[in-house]
Amino acid sequence: VGFLLLILIIPNEKNYMKSNVCVDGEFITGRAPAAVLEFSYAVIEELDSKKKVTKIREEIIDLYETMNK
């Protein structure tokens, strides 16, 4: 709702992005609840590293595969 409201208030904004997650300096924003994993990865990458994000993604996939055997 807030995201849609922002689009309606600032329709001619030149920096509008259609991505699910936007990292801009000290700000990280997510588009919607469906972007929670992508948002989490962006936060982890900013606080730690891309390597840590890759490790966590692999662990999630391994857990999913283990649960669905």
Looking at residues 48-64, what average pLDDT do you find? 96
CA atoms within 13 A of residue 51's CA, in its CB half-sphere: 1
pLDDT digits (tens, 9 = 90+) for 15-51: 667 789 988 888 898 888 999 999 999 999 999 999 9
pLDDT of residue 49: 97
* Residue 9, both tokens: 């208030």
pLDDT of residue 19: 87
pTM above 0.75, yes or no: no
* Residue 48, both tokens: 């730690």
Beta strands in 2-69 (DSSP E): 21-24, 27-30
> Is the distance from CB of 45 to CB of 62 less than 8 angstroms?
no
